[in-house]
Chains A and B, each alone.
Chain A
Amino acid sequence: MIGPLATGLIVLALVIALVSLLTTAMNKAMGNVLLIALGVLELGLLVQAGFLIAALVRGEGPAETATLIGYMAGTVVIPPVAAFWGVGERSRWGPAVIAVAGFAIPGMVGRMLQLWQGTA
């Protein structure tokens, strides 16, 4: 795994989560800014998945390969599903859905880093 990319993804996801919470607190519906940010996050997660798959194919994977693949698949699936689910709700609770995804991604990427480094 690439440390800087993973760190960037974690930071971006947390920023998205906080902006989403703020949007919910201000009683606003989803804006385009959040959607675009979510799209950028998804692109980054796809790139990370690509690098991971390439590394696994080369046989560089950690002991917990299956778990790592599970987390990887989860991170790629969550942002688009959250976007779909959040956009459908034109109230303050739309961005709240995005916040849930925004907090889930850092946890999952963090766990992937731990698995990759063999510290968990």
Chain B
Amino acid sequence: MNERVDEAGEARSTTPSAATGSGTEGAGTVGAGPGRVLVAVYGIFALAAGARAAVQIARQFDDAPLAYVLSAFAALVYLVLAVALARGNRVLALVACGVELAGVLIVGTLSLVDPGAFPKATVWSGFGSGYVFIPLVLPLLGLFWLSRRK
């Protein structure tokens, strides 16, 4: 059953996951603990955005090429982030987080200023309002998490 854990860090030091990050730096810190939750959320967003973009591009690409390509790009960024965090690649994760934050801010602003350019919604439209603003909060959480541990 549930075993009591005094402190997250203490429990982590004995897990095999902390030792699996061979090669790349700090898999045990970036991809463990709260980092695991980030990886899970990014994984689900990569799946959701990727599947959505694949369907849209395959079936109705001409409706809104820009929006659909952006959806696919967003899915790619989420995928890179999930893998980089899981493998403990801090630098790649930081870069992807920056791209993600820039993407959601730029696309979010553009979609409000010039709605005509985005006839179909992307994950980043309206600062991610279609996804309870998770796309806006995620990169901030990611950057916070990545900058906190060294």
A contact residues vs B (CB 8 Å cutoff): 23, 26-33, 66-67, 70-71, 73-74, 77-78, 81-82, 85-86, 88-94, 96-97, 100-101, 104
> Which residues of B lie under 8 Å from residue A32 when comparing CB positions?
1
> Which residues of A lie under 8 Å from residue B54 when comparing CB positions?
70
Contact of A85 among B11, B12, B39, B47 (CB under 8 A): B39
How would you classify the secondary structure of chain B's contact residues: helix, strand, loop or mixed? helix
Asked whether A90 lies within 8 Å of B44 as measured between CB atoms, the reply is no
Q: Quick check: is B62 within 8 A (CB to CB) of the other chain?
A: no
Asked whether B8 lies within 8 Å of A92 as measured between CB atoms, the reply is yes
Q: Quick check: is B79 within 8 A (CB to CB) of the other chain?
A: no
Nearest 4 CB-CB pairs, A to B?
Answer: A70-B51, A31-B2, A28-B2, A91-B11
B contact residues vs A (CB 8 Å cutoff): 1-5, 8, 11-12, 14-17, 32-37, 39-41, 43-44, 47-48, 51-52, 54-55, 58-59
Residue ID in chain A nearest B39 by CB atoms: A85
> Which residues of B lie under 8 Å from residue A101 when comparing CB positions?
40, 44
Residue ID in chain B nearest A101 by CB atoms: B40
CA A96 – CA B40 in complex, angstroms? 9
What are 22 sample pairs from A and B whose C-beta atoms fall under 8 A apart? Answer: A27-B5, A28-B2, A29-B2, A29-B3, A29-B11, A31-B1, A31-B2, A32-B1, A66-B55, A66-B59, A70-B52, A70-B54, A81-B43, A85-B39, A88-B17, A89-B36, A90-B12, A90-B14, A91-B8, A93-B34, A94-B36, A100-B41
